Amino acid sequence: MCQEMNGIIGCVRRHTCGRMKKDGFPRAIDQGAYTCEAINVKGRVLATPDCIVRIVTIPAPEPPRPPPQPQIRCDHRGAASPYPDRSGACPCKPLVTGPSCTDCRPGSFHLSEKAPQGCLKCFCFGVTDQCRSSSWYRTEDRLMFAGSSEGVMLSDIEERDVDRDTRFDYSRSGFLTYPSQIPGTKYWRMPQRFLGDKVTSYGGKMEFEIMYSGSGSMSREPMVVIKGNQIVLAHHVHNQEQILSSDRPTIITLETYESSFTQLNGAPATREDLMMVLADLDSLLIRATHVDHQYSSR
C-alpha cells in the first residue's frame, strides 16, 4: 500500500507478489512478480522485485545403460595368449578358431593345450581329412632288465654294427650295463615289441633313465632316433651339458609330438613325417655314448 507523507510517496510491502498498476497498487497475485516498494523524493514510483524467480532446468532422465558386455575368456587350450587383444578378440593358435579359441579349424581335430598348433591336423594317409578323437587309451610298457636284456642290443646309428647281450652286466637292478669302453657313438636298440604300428603312441611320452661313466666332450649326436617308412627322425637334448654328468642317473622324458623331432639334416619334422614313421616303426634307438672317453653305459 502506498501513502503520501510530506510530499514523499512511501510504499509498504505486503506479503504479496504482483505487477505494479499505474496508480501504484499491485495487481492480483497471478499477474506479475513486482510490488510497490520504492521511495522517490521526486514523486516517482519505481518497481522492484518482491519475489526472486529462479528458473531451474530439470534434466531429462538418462537413458538406461546397456548391460555390460560379457568379458571374453580365451581358452587356454587353443589361445596363443590368455588375454584378448585390443580389439577384444582372442589370439588363436594356427589350427584354432572362434571368439574364445574353442573350435578346431576344418581338417583338424582334438583341441589340446599340448598340441603346438592348438588342434591336430587330420592325417589319414589321404583317405579323408575328417577326424575325431578316439576313446582308446594307452598302456605303459616297461623294460625291467631282471637278468636279461629283453631283446635290447647295442648298435651304431645305421644299425650295421650290432653287439648282442654277450657282454652285458645285469648286476644293477633295473639297468642294462655295457661295462667296456665303447668305440664311436653307440645306441641302445629297442626290441621288437616297441616296433610296428605305433600310431596310438602319438601324443604320449617316452621316458628312460641313463647313466654313464667317463669324461671328455659331450656327444652331439641325437639322443633318440626313430625310423619308419624310409623316414628318419631325431630328438636332441639341447641342455645336455647341464643335465648329464658322469656316474649320475638322469631321466629323459620325450613327448611324442612332431615338435620334439627334426629330420637328420636339422629341418623340422611335420605331423605327416611322424605319423608315417609311427605307422610302421622299424627302429627305435636311444643313445648309449655320451662323452668321448666313456668306459661304461647303462
Can you give the pLDDT at residue 53?
54
Q: If pLDDT is split at 50, 70 and 90, which confidence band does 96 have?
A: very high
**For the ranges 241-245, 266-270, 277-281, which has the lowest average pLDDT?**
241-245
pLDDT at 181 exceeding the cut of 50:
yes
Can you give the pLDDT at residue 14?
47
**For the ranges 8-17, 82-91, 200-209, which has the lowest average pLDDT?**
8-17
Dist. CA 265–CA 11, nearest whole Å: 114
What is the pairing mode between strands 224-228 and 231-235? antiparallel
**For the ranges 142-146, 233-237, 241-245, 287-291, which has the lowest average pLDDT?**
142-146
**In Å, how far are 102, 118, 191, 225 from 161, measured between CA atoms?**
50, 42, 16, 16
Does domain 153-297 sit in CATH 1.10.390? Answer: no
**For the ranges 46-60, 128-142, 218-232, which has the lowest average pLDDT?**
46-60
Please report, to the nearest 10 degrees, the dihedral formed by the alpha carbons of residues 210, 207, 194, 164 taken in order. 0
pLDDT at 176 exceeding the cut of 70:
no
Can you give the pLDDT at residue 75?
94
Can you give the pLDDT at residue 13?
47
- Cβ neighbours of residue 123 closer than 8 Å, sequence gap 6 or more: 131, 271, 272, 275
Q: If pLDDT is split at 50, 70 and 90, which confidence band does 164 have?
A: low
Can you give the pLDDT at residue 56?
60
pLDDT at 69 exceeding the cut of 80:
no
Can you give the pLDDT at residue 67?
67
Can you give the pLDDT at residue 29?
47
Dist. CA 107–CA 84, nearest whole Å: 25
pLDDT tens-digit series, residues 12-60: 444 444 444 445 455 444 444 444 444 444 445 555 555 555 556 677 7
Q: Where are the alpha helices (DSSP H) in the chain?
A: 240-243, 271-279
Topology (CATH) of 67-133: Tie2 ligand-binding domain fold (2.170.300)
Cα–Cα nearest to 241, from 226, 223, 262, 268: 223
Q: If pLDDT is split at 50, 70 and 90, which confidence band does 68 have?
A: low
- Joined grid coordinates for residue 283: 627302429
φ, ψ of residue 279 in degrees (nearest 5): -65, -30
Across residues 155-178, what is the average pLDDT?
71
Percent of the chain scored above 70 by pLDDT? 72
Q: Which amino acid is at 26?
A: P
**Contact status, residue 133 vs residue 109, Cβ threshold 8 Å:** yes
Q: If pLDDT is split at 50, 70 and 90, which confidence band does 155 have?
A: confident
**Contact status, residue 195 vs residue 277, Cβ threshold 8 Å:** no
Can you give the pLDDT at residue 254?
93
CB atoms within 10 A of CB 29: 11
**In Å, how far are 111, 151, 200, 205 from 135, measured between CA atoms?**
15, 32, 11, 18
Percent of the chain scored above 90 by pLDDT? 35
Can you give the pLDDT at residue 213?
87
Segments of the chain assigned to CATH 2.60.120: 153-297
Please report, to the nearest 10 degrees, the dihedral formed by the alpha carbons of residues 20, 22, 24, 26 taken in order. -40
Across residues 139-163, what is the average pLDDT?
79
Q: Which amino acid is at 207?
A: E
Across residues 258-267, what is the average pLDDT?
93
Q: What is the mean pLDDT of the chain?
A: 79
What is the distance in angstroms between the CA of the first residue and the CA of the last residue of the chain? 124
Segments of the chain assigned to CATH 2.170.300.10: 67-133
